[in-house]
Amino acid sequence: GLTGQKGWSRQWRDPEPKPHYDVVIVGGGLHGLATAYYLAANHGVKNIAVLEKGWLGGGNAGRNTTIVRSNYFRPGNREFYEHSLKLWENLSHELNYNVMFSQRSHISLLHSPGAIDAAARNYNILRRTGTPDAEIWDLATLKRAVPHLNYSPTSRFPIMGAAVQKRAGTARHDAVAWGYARGADKHGVDILQQCEVQGITREGDSVSAVETSRGTIRAGKVAFAVAGNTSRLWTMAGLGKLPIESHKLQAFVSEPLKPLLDQVVVFGIGGAHFYISQSDKGGMVFGGDLDWYKSYAQRGNLPIVQDTAEAAMSILPCLGRVKLLRHWSGLVDMSMDGTHFLCKTPLSNLYLNAGWNYGGFKATPASGWYFADLIANDRPHEKIRNFDLKRFERGLQIDERGAGPDPK
């Protein structure tokens, strides 16, 4: 359909690397690009490069299941994700790029009286602290909204109700990467693709340059936003171990169907681990658990296909004859308490953005916003004070199990 179209202009430039930048951001995923955009747009930093070893959005940015929500309830995370959701609500406007943010409701199924009580507690906290759209639905309300779930009382995990966030939903992940890239480029940020960081040059306790596949680039400040590759970069910088493990997370899309599901549905509280929504093209987009072993391989495997298909069948048996179109894997950076790091590091001009677990897509705008603020001002904003590497020493882990009260 596009073959007759000609003369498309570039969305961003393809410059040669300069020998020096004031800020070098390693990683051209969502968080690196958002950081570059807010550094330039909010803080007026001029001389910035984003270094990406492959193509923009080729990592988790283009591999996730695009769920956006703010129903985290630990202090710190709650405010962070609510700030992110508010930025999402204006993002297409801010970037002048349609990121297709669709606030279609996030429905977490509840399968026991205990789960209903726990969800009611969490969602009451959300309502009282600035997230007014958190609701608990009884079974009758849920059945009216999503009539074709498996409501059999004899099922393995009978559905008894749901915890719902109505402003939550999905967005188009590629568009988010491209929108931030175009916005950053317009502010003069150099986006350097096929530019892998292969070494870090230090002068004492600071970084002086990065060694890349396109030559040496000197830097005033260096920021890591490389998700599942964080430990590799950390080692290059000559630093010790991080409280992060890299795991594979797989996702799936079916052949396109007529409209079937208007919401994001999550089967996770006291049941299996499964989440599903329908894309604008009609494909059912879904995923499940981690692979539960550490790996840098971005490829899927059959045990997770089986596990996820079983979970799908147990709540949406109508999917039984649907064909799977594609299946892939990304590389997620799992932290020990399920919460991220946005912080300074032992090196004076090196900054860390990592530990997004299952959930860094929804965090993108706030992550970029706060990380840019940290880099520009060389001190953590009050709201991200506890997202540092020393919180474990202080006994301050922010325990969200990687995903907040809902596992996705």
Instruction: Indicate whether 242 belongs to the interface with ligand FAD (CB under 6 A).
Output: no
Instruction: Indicate whether 249 belongs to the interface with ligand FAD (CB under 6 A).
Output: yes
Closest CA to 63 of 332, 312, 401: 332
d(CA 241, CA 363): 24
Which one of 78, 106, 362, 391 is in contact with ligand FAD (CB under 6 A)?
A: 362
Instruction: Indicate whether 338 belongs to the interface with ligand FAD (CB under 6 A).
Output: no
d(CA 274, CA 358): 12
Beta bridge partners of 202: 207
CB-CB contact of 200 with 210 (8 Å)? yes
In the complex with ligand FAD, which residue's Cβ is closer, 63 or 111? 63
Stretch that binds ligand FAD, among 28-36, 91-99, 305-313, 375-383 (CB under 6 A): 28-36
CB-CB contact of 110 with 163 (8 Å)? yes
Q: Minimum distance from CB of 52 to ligand FAD (Å)?
A: 5
Neighbouring residues of 154: CB distance < 8 A, sequence distance ≥ 6: none
Q: What is the 3-state secondary structure (H, E, C) of 97-129?
A: CCCCCECCCEEEEECCHHHHHHHHHHHHHHHHC
In the complex with ligand FAD, which residue's Cβ is closer, 32 or 160? 32
Instruction: Indicate whether 31 belongs to the interface with ligand FAD (CB under 6 A).
Output: yes
As given in the structure block, the two tokens for residue 264 are 């994001």
Stretch that binds ligand FAD, among 87-95, 215-223, 224-232, 305-313 (CB under 6 A): 224-232
Instruction: Indicate whether 380 belongs to the interface with ligand FAD (CB under 6 A).
Output: no
As given in the structure block, the two tokens for residue 187 are 């502010």
Stretch that binds ligand FAD, among 29-37, 100-108, 238-246, 309-317 (CB under 6 A): 29-37
Which one of 92, 229, 254, 345 is in contact with ligand FAD (CB under 6 A)?
A: 229
CB-CB contact of 71 with 122 (8 Å)? yes
Q: Which residue has the tokens 């301050």?
A: 396
As given in the structure block, the two tokens for residue 144 are 């009216």
User: Binders of ligand FAD among 290-319, rule CB under 6 A?
Assistant: none
Instruction: Indicate whether 261 belongs to the interface with ligand FAD (CB under 6 A).
Output: no
Binding site for ligand FAD (CB under 6 A): 26-32, 51-54, 58-61, 63-67, 196-197, 225-227, 229, 233, 249-251, 287, 330, 332, 356, 358-362
